[in-house]
Amino acid sequence: MLCAIEWNPSPELISIGSFSVRYYSMWWLIGLAAAYVILQRLYKQQGLGEKNFDKLIIYAFIGIFVGARVGHFLFYDPIYFITRPLEIILPIARDAAGHYHFVGYAGLASHGGTLGLMLALWLYAKKTGVNLWQTLDNIAVATPITAFCIRMGNFWNSEIIGNPTGSDWGIIFTQVDNVARHPSQLYEAVAYIIIFVIGIALYATLHKKLHRGFFFGYCLTTIFVARFFIEFSKVNNGIFEGFALNTGHYLSIPFVALGLFCMLYKQVDRYTLGTTKLGKK
């Protein structure tokens, strides 16, 4: 017989005085390290140069971070976005007495991170001359493993929780309440690791036969289709709270449409916006 599991881990991996390192940060670092190794290997195989790889990591990190932070407040807490803009970028928060404290970065939206990354990669391609679609495809091969790690971090933080299961099965996030809920973070984590394995297999066997932009499209389509359906198990929040679909649903739809276009339209790589000096077919 299935029964609920109580989940109440300490969010802190290491604590020294007022400074602490959280498990969420550890999972983020693991995800970024995994993507780093994969991308480094792809750049080496494709002869794109070490300097271009180093620049890619910088552009990608800034794009993801800024996009995820801005997206979180813009999509899920716009009042905070307007009243406390300083806290979006800096790891601080103001208490009721008006004093600032170091709190780390709590609040990162995957949709915002995706938009920030896409903009950063376009700027990177214009700066370096590396083919835009080749860059997008390379990032897309590595992205799902990072997404998996991020959701594991969310699970450890007892955040992005699911709706009550209505039965004695589920996860009781003790830091939130005593209700058995869907572990939505784990649903997404499992989906993303499957997407990653399939993507790696496709790249290893078919990347020379598939058109540029296919892997970028595959990544967007699969991740956000999974996200769309898993959103039904989540607590509804954000700017569309109270609607039939939640914020995550509405934000996922355009990414799925763009992904399908990139997968199915074989000449998508002609939209290079002047970034085709390196990596031509």
Examine residue 242 and state whether it is found in any structural domain, yes or no: yes
Report which of 107, 103, 62 is spatially closest to residue 238, judged by C-alpha positions: 107
Examine residue 136 and state whether it is found in any structural domain, yes or no: yes
Examine residue 3 and state whether it is found in any structural domain, yes or no: no
Examine residue 93 and state whether it is found in any structural domain, yes or no: yes
Examine residue 9 and state whether it is found in any structural domain, yes or no: no
Strands (E), 117-236: 170-173, 180-181
Examine residue 4 and state whether it is found in any structural domain, yes or no: no
Eight-class DSSP state of 168: S
CA distance 101 to 108: 19
Per-residue pLDDT, 18:
62
Residue 116's identity, in one-letter code, is G
Per-residue pLDDT, 110:
81
Per-residue pLDDT, 92:
67
Residue 46's identity, in one-letter code, is Q
Quote the tokens at residue 167.
Answer: 């039965």
Per-residue pLDDT, 77:
72
pLDDT in tens, the chain (281 residues): 567 899 998 877 777 766 667 788 899 899 999 999 999 999 999 999 889 999 999 999 999 888 888 877 777 777 766 777 766 777 666 776 777 666 666 667 788 888 999 999 999 999 999 999 999 999 999 999 999 999 999 999 998 899 999 988 999 999 999 999 999 999 999 999 999 999 999 999 999 999 999 999 999 999 999 999 999 998 877 655 666 788 889 889 999 999 999 999 988 887 765 555 555 44
SS3 22: strand
Q: Is 63 exposed, middle or buried (0-12, 13-18, 19+ CB in 10 A)?
A: buried
Report which of 15, 23, 251 is spatially closest to residue 158, judged by C-alpha positions: 23
Examine residue 227 and state whether it is found in any structural domain, yes or no: yes
Q: Say how many domains are in the chain.
A: 1
CA distance 249 to 263: 21
Per-residue pLDDT, 281:
41
pTM value? 0.84
Host domain of residue 154? 14-270
The β-bridge relationship of strands 12-16 and 180-181 is unpaired
Are the CB atoms for 121 and 57 separated by under 8 Å? no
Strands (E), the chain: 4-7, 12-16, 19-22, 92-94, 100-102, 170-173, 180-181
Residue 259's identity, in one-letter code, is G
Examine residue 248 and state whether it is found in any structural domain, yes or no: yes
Per-residue pLDDT, 146:
95
Are the CB atoms for 220 and 137 separated by under 8 Å? no
Which CA distances in Å does 6 have to 47, 134, 174, 188, 239?
A: 50, 45, 7, 20, 30
